[in-house]
Amino acid sequence: MYDTYFPVTYYFYPLLEENKELQEFLNSFNVPVTDSVETLLYVHIPYCQDLCRFCPFHVRVAKDFSVYERYTKALCTDIERTAQSQRGTSSTIKAIYFGGGSPSIFSPDQLKRIFETINKSFSLTSDVEISFEGEPKSLSDPARLELLREMGVQRISFGLQTYDEKLRESFNIAATLKDVEAVTSRARDIGFEEINVDMMYNLPGQQLGDLEKDIQRLVADGYDSIDYYNLHYYAFPPKFKQEMAEGKVPPKPSEPIMLALFEQLRSQLGATGYTNVADQVYSKKKDVCEYFRLLWGGGAGAHSAETLAVGSSARGYVNGVAYMNYGNVNRYMDAIEGDQSVVEKISSRLHKPENRGAVMFPKFLHIEKKYQDAIETIPKKLMSDWVSQGIIYETETEFRISEKGKVWTNNMTTDLLESRQRDVGDRSVVALAKKPGKRTGSF
Ligand SMILES: C[S@@+](CC[C@H](N)C(=O)[O-])C[C@H]1O[C@@H](n2cnc3c(N)ncnc32)[C@H](O)[C@@H]1O
Ligand code: SF4
């Protein structure tokens, strides 16, 4: 039923739209949350030391580092304002995620002030999970690592991407493999509970043997969990694409090779003790971390978990609506300093909010039958086609995506979108095709 891989992975739902009226949504922050809703706090720091040539995110490279100080102050104000809203005062935060960009490039003092502002502003659960994403060069600094541990971070995550030195260089990855080694051993010595790395496959010119070598080294280094992404080529700068066309950089693998690489990845990691706990996530634990669980709705079929988002280009979900803060950092800081709202874009409300639980089902690789309302938003014919094609199978308590089906999770997600959302998605894919190299952030 599927024969071509759909290139866009949706991480947030419902989808953001242009020109939506914001005022009604902003009132959601004046409404308390009900007790049963679980909440994630997402904190975004959009700066990086340098730009990797594959990266589609809204990242900035600062020429003048004094902007880090201005951003720290704005972020702390954003945290306080969000926490003081009715939504904030009625929420208890179960997980905190620092994402970017590369939050680790801020100084220990700036990071400490951000943590302290969160601690004094929000109510946190006693076992709140705190994850911190950085890039290996700045993260290998012992002072930063010590500070993060002192601030209660349990999960540390950084981009390793590949061990292939030539590709690292052509991608312009600032961190060296020595930096990676240093952060890994220091983070272990300091005693973080989980070290996660981001890796990518489907790299220019990648063959099965190259991937095998990457995974062998990865397994030898013994990371607790791995986010293994299929490299998307759409954000590559035109100059880099040109170099690929001229043969200076090897070409994108063909689709059959990409699919073979994906199969190899799952079988090699599976054989070495990693469980495929979610789409693109492999872990020594048996389940996905709290960050992903809450970001994607609260569990395999749940839809109500909320995300309070602070920082430029941070994405959240409140009262049935997804939102994004200003992607332009200056505009974000100006708005905070002028006591204005920082929300730039929002989504529509879903016709059935339970559909969020269905759309996130391929991320969890299963959907529990107890989420009947979510399952009912899936067209019956689609479910029966998936079963008859061996893409999903039924157990007593859930529907699970098969090994065959794991290849098609992007296609499945697209088929699960409510029809109006599907139109929004189609429009952004068309816009993307017209503007290759554009930084999109994630979808
Ligand atoms: C927001 S980045 C943060 C990580 C951190 N800044 C670093 O690079 O060390 C999250 C991850 O997305 C992945 N990523 C970036 N660009 C990608 C692309 N074009 N296709 C697929 N994954 C990508 C990378 O693995 C990256 O580490
Ligand atoms: S991959 Fe990470 S370090 Fe590279 S530009 Fe993107 S966010 Fe920055």
Nearest Cα residue to atom 15 of ligand 1: 55
Global confidence as pTM: 0.96
Task: Determine the average pLDDT of the residues in 422-429.
Answer: 85
What is the CATH code for 16-295? 3.80.30.20
Domain regions of the chain by residue span: 16-295
**CA 255 – CA 244 distance, rounded (Å):** 17
Instruction: Tell whether the model's pLDDT for residue 216 goes beyond 70.
Output: yes
Any ligand 2 atom below 6 A from CB of 59: yes
**DSSP category for residue 52:** -
Task: Determine the average pLDDT of the residues in 177-204.
Answer: 97
Nearest Cα residue to atom 7 of ligand 2: 101
State residue 20's pLDDT score.
83
Nearest Cα residue to atom 27 of ligand 1: 159
Ligand 1 centroid–CA 159 distance in Å is 6
* Confidence band, pLDDT 50/70/90 cuts, at residue 131: very high
What would the pLDDT profile of 333-371 be if each residue is shown by its tens digit?
999 999 999 999 999 999 999 999 999 999 999 999 999
Ligand 1 centroid–CA 200 distance in Å is 8
The per-residue pLDDT of the chain, averaged, comes to 95
Ligand 2 centroid–CA 281 distance in Å is 19
Task: Determine the average pLDDT of the residues in 79-105.
Answer: 97
- Bridge partners of 259, per DSSP, are none
Closest ligand 2 atom to the C-alpha of 50? Answer: 5
Any ligand 1 atom below 6 A from CB of 170: no
Ligand 2 centroid–CA 419 distance in Å is 34
The two most distant CA atoms of the chain are separated, in Å, by 59
| Mutation probe of ligand 2 site: the residue of 59, 162, 172, 176 with most atoms within 8 A of C-beta | 59
* Confidence band, pLDDT 50/70/90 cuts, at residue 438: low
Instruction: Tell whether the model's pLDDT for residue 230 goes beyond 60.
Output: yes
Cβ-contact 137, 177 below 8 angstroms: no
State residue 429's pLDDT score.
75
Task: Determine the average pLDDT of the residues in 252-277.
Answer: 96
| Mutation probe of ligand 2 site: the residue of 51, 135, 169, 440 with most atoms within 8 A of C-beta | 135
What would the pLDDT profile of 7-61 be if each residue is shown by its tens digit?
888 999 999 998 788 999 999 999 999 988 999 999 999 999 999 999 988 899 9
**CA 107 – CA 184 distance, rounded (Å):** 20
Tokens representing 159? 């981009």
How many other C-beta atoms lie within 10 A of the C-beta of residue 217?
A: 13
Ligand nearest to the backbone CA of 441: 1
Any ligand 1 atom below 6 A from CB of 153: no
Peptide bond between residue 101 and the one before it cis (omega within 30 degrees of 0): yes
Closest ligand 2 atom to the C-alpha of 159? Answer: 2
In angstroms, the Cα distances linking 400 to 30, 289, 393, 395 are: 39, 19, 5, 8
State residue 443's pLDDT score.
53
Any ligand 1 atom below 6 A from CB of 100: yes
**Strand 155-161 versus strand 123-134 pairing type:** parallel
